[in-house]
Chains A and B, each alone.
Chain A
Amino acid sequence: MMSMERIIRSGERIALAHYHLDPEQWEAMLTAPGRALSLLSCWADEQRVYVLFLDGDCPLMASTPVEDRRYLAPSSRFPAAEWGERVAYDLWGVEAMSACGDGRPALDDGFWETTWPLSSRPGPGGQAMPLPAGRSRLRAETTGLSGPLELSFDVLRGAVQGLSVDAGLAHRGVLQRMVGLSPEEALPLVARMTAGGFVAHPMAFCRAVAQARGLQPGPGTRDAWMILLEIERISVHLFDMARTARAVDAGLLATHCEHAREAIAAACAEQGVPRRLTDVITCEGVRSGLEIVPLAHAVLEVMYSRMAQLRELQSVFAPRLKGLAVLAPAQAREFAVGGLVGRASGRSLDVRRREVGMRLDALRATGSSDGDAAARDALRLTEIRDSLALIKRILGSIGMDDDEPAPEATQEGIGAAEGARGDVWYWVRLKNGKIESVHARDPAVSLLPVLHRVLQGEAPERLSAGLKSLALAPSGVAM
């Protein structure tokens, strides 16, 4: 019997890591014995259904045709694929057979102008369904998150049970807006995918585009991108720490995080760079006029003087976050939760470690297996320390050559970036220089299938603090 990876690789290779499978091979992949690959994302349109895996630390992708608007559900093997299947149904009206889960809408709760809006046969808009009687709600405007997301749940003896998530409110059809544009024309949309990834999303996208075009970003671009990504990580971690701290009345820690984040923004502005690093990544490298070395030095200077105090305050207030919103290591493994949340629950995935030119010795954070809000908060600060070390190491050898050969141009590419909130992935297919098809996977999506487990048993009034600690971004979930 063949392993899952070998079944995929027995298909027709049409790009660096993408294999076309026929329906028999697809079924064999989903029923292959032995260890399953880690699923990163699942998506579909009217023509094909796709799955993106991690094989070791490399991406591996498979797809098969959608026939009669149906396909065998990847969620029959990978529960985490369910979200992508539901999104595909809402957008295209294609059905996943033998899917796990209850098939509730993912994005379209009946408010859209049309049903299956991207399909060749869209229908009239639906009707919003009322909430079943007796269920409690955390309304979208009261979650304390920066974007709209609604929770419904039962309360049993003061504890949350049977939680479900309505994540469709933030959907704005960004990916569909990109189709038909050149990558350069689409970049401003990518650069506003989600505010926690103003650098990470464009970076992953530009890496995918470079691969599709058979280009390898040079060492100067590579290092500038790495530094910008670390500055974003520091800033977003500070934001997430501050918001979590406020949720548990740790105002002093929040205050110091907020001041540090504003000081970084001011340092950027003083260097002539947008405060939150918006629009700094381009397909060719970085925006013209951006001087990466003085920017990096300015950020190091801002942060070094603050780190000891942040660490002290974080440890003083840590007990308030103990036991809050626990993601058990087994669940993190089962649902392939990556990013900081995964690392605080015992998973070691960090896509920076596989990057060409990465100064690996700077990445010392070992994560935790406690999986609670305290573990995530402590890890955020440790990762800030590592980011500062990494920036310093890159400055010591900036532009160091690595002789990485350019990939073959196949008009398809996969790109990744380890953003502050986790691994961001893009897949693009170009035709005549324009985007023919595109998919993005934000790390927030990997939290959806575990959210009800993580928040189960919490008191309803602690839900908001739990969500803040997970740093769930509705804009990244729904796009």
Chain B
Amino acid sequence: MTAFQTMGPLSVLHAFLNVSRWRVSADKGMSVRPDTINLYVLETGGCEGCAMEVESLCGSAFALEQYGFARVTDPADADWLLVTGPMGRACVQMLERVWNAMPAGKSLVAVGACAVDGGMFGPNYATLGGLKALTPVRRAIPGCPPSPQDILVGLQRLAER
């Protein structure tokens, strides 16, 4: 079998129909939220592993919106700030800028070991060692990196609190 074996008449429509067949979704037992929580994602100098998993969760392979969450690209629209990475000292201004642009009632969620306490990248001359250095971390999703499913389950648990 070759990699580009033809599969009969191909069409964009066919590709469109195939999408639902391949959709990966989180556990069936997960509850669906009636109201939407808007998420803004900020990477603060880690390996990008957590950030890429959050990006996967926000992509089409997962049904994030069905579970009551949506990714936004403007912090002014965000309810929760999802932080990944060990918080480089040079990233603090960026964090403040985004946090201050979010409306009242906002929450901070550390995604991945680095975002909590730096993980394997503890404090040094360039890194603060996670959000813990700035504020008590009350909402966290562990892992290095957590899978998109882990992140979704974690978000759901936090939403139920």
- Hey, which bits of chain A sit against chain B, CB under 8 A? 107-109, 111-114, 117, 128, 139-142, 146-148, 168-174, 176-177, 188-189, 192-196, 198, 239, 242-243, 251-252, 254-256, 258-263, 265-266, 275-276, 278, 303-305, 307-309, 311-313, 316, 384-385, 388-389, 473-475, 478
When the two chains form their complex, are residues A172 and B56 in contact, meaning their CB atoms are under 8 A apart? Answer: no
- Does residue B79 face the partner (Cβ distance < 8 Å to A)? no
Task: Name the CB-closest residue of A to B55.
Answer: A146
Whole-angstrom distance between the Cβ of A445 and the nearest chain B Cβ:
15
Query: Which residues of chain A come closer than 8 Å to B94, judged between CB atoms?
Result: 139-141, 148, 169
Query: In this assembly, does B120 line the interface, its C-beta being within 8 Å of a C-beta of chain A?
Result: yes
How far, in angstroms, from A108 to B148 measured CA to CA in the complex?
A: 33
Measured CB to CB, the closest approach of chain A to B142, in angstroms, equals 15
The complex places the Cα of A478 from the Cα of B43 at a distance, in Å, of 14
A111-B88, A192-B47, A255-B59 given. 6 additional CB < 8 A pairs? Answer: A117-B126, A171-B45, A172-B124, A254-B60, A255-B61, A262-B62
Q: What separation, in Å, do the CA atoms of A239 and B56 have in the docked complex?
A: 9
Residue of A nearest to B1 (CB): A304
By the criterion CB–CB under 8 Å, are B48 and A256 in contact? no
What is the CA–CA distance of A259 and B23 in the complex, to the nearest angstrom?
Answer: 7
- How many Å from the CB of B20 to the closest CB on chain A? 10
Is B44 engaged at the interface, CB distance under 8 Å to the other chain?
A: yes
Kindly provide the distance from the CB of A167 to the nearest chain B CB, expressed in whole angstroms.
10
Neighbour of B45 across the interface among A169, A198, A242, A256, CB < 8 A: A169
- A313–B7 Cα distance when bound, in Å, is 14
| Residue in A closest to B92 when the chains form the complex, CB atoms | A111
Provided the pairs A252-B15, A256-B15 are in contact, do residues A195 and B3 lie with their beta carbons within 8 angstroms?
Answer: no
Known interface pairs A195-B47, A263-B22, A475-B47. Does A258 touch B10 (Cβ–Cβ under 8 Å)? no
Determine how close the nearest CB of chain A comes to the CB of B9; give it in whole angstroms.
11
Q: Which of A242, A305, A309 contacts B14 (CB 8 A)?
A: A309
B63 to chain A: closest CB distance in Å? Answer: 12
Which one of A146, A172, A242 lies within 8 Å of B86 (CB-CB)?
A172
Would you call B91 and A148 a contact (CB within 8 A)? yes
Of all chain B residues, which has the CB nearest A198?
A: B49
CA of A242 to CA of B58 in the docked complex: distance in angstroms?
12
In the complex, A256→B126 CA distance in Å? 39
State how many angstroms separate the Cβ of B77 from the closest Cβ of chain A. 14
Interface size class of B (residues with CB under 8 A): 35 or more
Residue of A112, A177, A198, A474 touching B89 (CB-CB under 8 A): A112
Name the CB-closest residue of A to B46. Answer: A475
Complex Cα spacing A276 to B18, Å: 24
B 4-29 contacts with A by CB, 8 A: 4-7, 10-12, 14-16, 18-19, 22-24
Q: How far is the CA of A107 from the CA of B89 in the complex (A)?
A: 11
Measured between alpha carbons, how far is A57 from B75 in the docked complex, in Å? 48
Q: Are B52 and A173 interface neighbours, CB within 8 A?
A: no
Please give the distance in Å from B62's CB to the nearest CB on chain A. Answer: 8
Residues of B28-46 at the interface with A, using a CB-CB cut-off of 8 Å, are 42-46
Q: Is B98 an interface residue (CB 8 A)?
A: yes
* Contact indicator B43/A242 (Cβ below 8 Å): no
Q: How far is the CB of A176 from chain B (nearest CB, A)?
A: 8
A148-B45, A239-B52, A252-B12 known; A169+B90 contact, CB < 8 A: yes
The chain B residue with its CB closest to the CB of A386 is B3
Residues of chain B within 8 A of A255, CB atoms compared: 19, 59-61
Report yes or no: B126 in contact with A172, Cβ–Cβ below 8 A.
Answer: yes
- Find out whether the CB atom of B45 lies under 8 angstroms from the CB atom of A147: yes
Query: A262 near B3 (CB under 8 angstroms)?
Result: no
Is there contact, CB below 8 Å, between B127 and A172?
yes
Residues of B within 8 A of A262 (CB): 24, 56, 61-62, 148
Residues of B within 8 A of A265 (CB): 147
In Å, the complex CA distance between A146 and B46 comes to 10
Whether the pair A311, B24 counts as a contact (CB closer than 8 A) is no
Query: B144: CB under 8 A from chain A?
Result: yes
Query: Quick check: B47 and A193 within 8 Å, CB to CB?
Result: yes
Partner of B144, one of A142, A177, A192: A192
B47 touches A308 (CB 8 A): no
Chain B residues, Cβ within 8 Å of A173: 124-127
A242 engages B98 (CB within 8 Å): no
Within 8 Å CB of B3, what residues of A? Answer: 303-304, 307, 384-385, 388-389
Q: Is the CB of B90 within 8 A of A385?
A: no
Chain B residue at minimal CB-CB distance from A110: B90
Q: Closest CB-CB distance, A479 to chain B, in whole Å?
A: 10
Q: How far is the CB of A221 from chain B (nearest CB, A)?
A: 24
CB distance from A300 to the nearest CB of B (A): 9
Name 18 A/B residue pairs within 8 A (Cβ), A-sorted: A107-B126, A109-B90, A113-B125, A113-B126, A139-B94, A140-B91, A169-B45, A173-B124, A176-B124, A194-B48, A242-B59, A262-B148, A276-B49, A304-B5, A308-B7, A308-B10, A384-B3, A473-B48
Task: Name the B residues within 8 Å of A259 (CB-CB).
Answer: 19, 22-24, 60-61
Most buried by A among B23, B53, B56: B56
Residue numbers in A under 8 Å from B18 (CB-CB): 256, 309
Q: Which of B19, B53, B55, B98 contacts A141 (CB 8 A)?
A: B98
Q: Is B151 an interface residue (CB 8 A)?
A: no
Closest Cβ of chain B to A387, distance in Å, is 9
Of A243, A311, A312, most buried by chain B (CB within 10 Å of CB) is A312
Whether B49 lies near A195 (C-beta < 8 A) is yes
The residue on B at minimum CB distance from A389 is B3
Our pick among A112, A169, A275 for the contact of B91 (Cβ within 8 Å) is A169
**Residue among A128, A142, A172, A188 with max Cβ neighbours from chain B (10 Å):** A172
